[in-house]
Structure 1
């Protein structure tokens, strides 16, 4: 049975006290918090409790989730054995930037997705034990 616990970090106070996601209502709350976070806090780092830690005591994976407050779009990035960024092949928007605790992260062209799909992907990450969501298309970024 899947542990269904994800630790989310997106504000400075979460360093020692991450937000715990255990169900779809928690995912909804995260999406709304990122939407309300403004340009300096619209990106979260997620780690699933079921995944192992590396020898240094850090997670072996990370899902970045960003939500743009001004539009109905967001971004995803997944890191474990490789780096992957969400892909919307129908949109040709340029590079975009999202921030976690004031630190900006650049995302490549065509990485923004509808917020509903971002929400679905976070729920899938939660329920799959921390696997890369299959409900979205991914691209391997040239930089990162």
Structure 2
């Protein structure tokens, strides 16, 4: 398990450092409780920017999205769910919005498990998620 930098508070100058599963759950609970689809960015604290997991949570719909990027991989990836939504889902991160692919939403429980796997593997891409190549 590694410590993570969790970026989600636009008023904070520094990230929230997450060292335990309980601390990660507290951050995920905070975002899921927002009245809109929110997003946080998780970075490995000892090597920020090398591997990135963006986690979007929509507590009201019990859905979420993931974005994964690793400098060793040729592409970035978004989660892929079984449904297509129209319009494409938008999640808000620190004052800006990100449109995800129309097929990116997955159950919130899967999003949470993926965040924990990312932490426990030291930045590995979560295995129990179906991924699609991210295209702009």
Q: 1:66 is matched with which residue: 39, 53, 56?
A: 56
Q: Does 1:124 align with 2:121?
A: no
Q: 2:28 is matched with which residue: 27, 31, 48?
A: 31
Q: Secondary structure at the match of 1:12?
A: coil
- Which residue number in structure 1 is paired with residue 18 of structure 2? 21
- Which residue number in structure 1 is paired with residue 38 of structure 2? 42
- Which residue number in structure 2 is paired with residue 141 of structure 1? 134
Scaled by the length of structure 2, the TM-score of the pair is 0.88
Q: Secondary structure at the match of 1:142?
A: coil
Scaled by the length of structure 1, the TM-score of the pair is 0.83
Q: State the distance in 2 between where 1:31 and 1:103 align.
A: 19
Render the CA deviation track for 1:53-73: whole Å, top value 9, x for unaligned: 6xxxxx222110010132111
Q: Does 1:104 align with 2:94?
A: no
1:127 Cα deviation from its structure 2 partner: 0.6
Which of structure 1's runs of 4+ aligned residues deviate more than 4 A? none
Measured on the aligned residues, the alpha-carbon RMSD in Å equals: 1.6
1:18 Cα deviation from its structure 2 partner: 1.0
Q: State the distance in 2 between where 1:121 and 1:66 align.
A: 11
Q: State the distance in 2 between where 1:85 and 1:131 align.
A: 14
Contact 1:10 1:100 in 2 (8 A): yes
Unaligned runs of at least 5 residues, structure 2: none
1:139 Cα deviation from its structure 2 partner: 0.2
Q: State the distance in 1 between where 2:63 and 2:132 align.
A: 17
